[in-house]
Amino acid sequence: TDPRVPDPEFFRRHGLVSYLGVPLIAKEEILGVLGFYTKEEHEFTNEEVEFFMTLASQAAVAIYNAQLYDETKRNLEHIQALQEIDKAITSTLDLRTVLDVLLQKIDLSLPYATATVRLFNKESGLLEPVACRNLDEKEWKAEQWRGGRGIPNVVFKNKAPWMVSNVQTDPRVQDREFFRKHGLVSYLGVPLLVKDEVLGVLSFYTKEEHEFTNEEIGFLSTLAGQAAIAIHNSQLYQEMVSLAAQLSRSNKVKDEFLSIMSHELRTPLNVVMGYTGMIRDGLLGEINPEQEK
């Protein structure tokens, strides 16, 4: 009957009458509330309140320690996952292999349904789809999904993580039908940053609506930083391989040119040297001292 209670019907249905709530406090932080209900109207005494406060204090310490343990365990799991992913993606310099290993490790380590990688193409100026996990890659790379349309472009432009609670209904999202078809709901995109340069975007999707926590965003941003370094090294390696191939072709062309030129010059030079020898020996008539010189 108390007008301060927001949902009295719930308590009527379950026959709950009187209530006492005590805070769960540990290290001056409120972790929650411990509530007690009676089936009949009851005036809680000071002794009862004090007892329940003591009980709540003990419970708060136990809850705090359990939360601290869970947090420590999660941090260790994250560190282990980062180490495994870092070891895997730095074991090769082939870009496609790096991306495949990265997505495979993410799939094994993180509870997200789908992960994708888009890289910025400096020549085309587009954020292009490169690799994905748990998606039809051919369909994902279809023409309408090329740079400029997808939600990762917001991440790329802002150089910061961006989250969408429901990509199937959010009016800012284009091509919502694609996400409905594949059952993708929540989205988080993190930039692949190296020395303040955005190489691309690493995206995560879930099958159910999910609010990414600050802890998750921080961990995935760290993961993206590791991946960005590996991708950057792969791109540099590929540029060096390409440059080496170009230099090799250039040297081959130069050698071919010199070979042709030396062959073409040899015949007329031999003729000139032959006639010069005949003139010097007087076979074509007498020559004066200046000509001989």
- The model's pLDDT over 132-145, given as tens digits with 9 standing for 90+, comes to 999 888 888 875 55
For the chain, give the mean pLDDT.
Answer: 86
Which among 133, 100, 83, 127 is positioned nearest to 234, based on CA atoms?
A: 100
* Confidence at 88, pLDDT banded by 50, 70, 90: low
pTM metric for this prediction: 0.60
pLDDT average, residue stretch 172-177: 83
pLDDT average, residue stretch 276-280: 87
Q: 159-174 pLDDT, tens per residue?
A: 999 999 999 999 888 7
Say what the pLDDT of residue 145 is. 55
Lowest mean pLDDT among 4-8, 63-67, 107-111, 175-179: 107-111
Say what the pLDDT of residue 43 is. 93
Say what the pLDDT of residue 151 is. 87
Residue 244: pLDDT over 90: no
pLDDT average, residue stretch 234-250: 80
pLDDT average, residue stretch 225-253: 82
CA distances from 206 to 27, 99, 179, 235 (A): 36, 20, 10, 30
Which residues, 6 or more positions from 284, have their beta carbon under 8 angstroms from its beta carbon? 275, 278
Residue 56: count other Cβ atoms within 10 Å of its Cβ: 21
pLDDT average, residue stretch 148-158: 84
Q: 48-74 pLDDT, tens per residue?
A: 999 999 999 999 999 998 888 887 777
The count of C-alpha atoms lying within 13 angstroms of the C-alpha of 72, restricted to the half-sphere facing its C-beta, is: 6
pLDDT average, residue stretch 185-192: 95
Q: Which carries the bigger pLDDT value, residue 247 or residue 148? A: 247
Say what the pLDDT of residue 148 is. 58
pLDDT average, residue stretch 65-87: 75
pLDDT average, residue stretch 215-230: 88
Say what the pLDDT of residue 149 is. 64
Q: What percent of the chain has pLDDT over 70?
A: 95
Q: What percent of the chain has pLDDT over 90?
A: 38
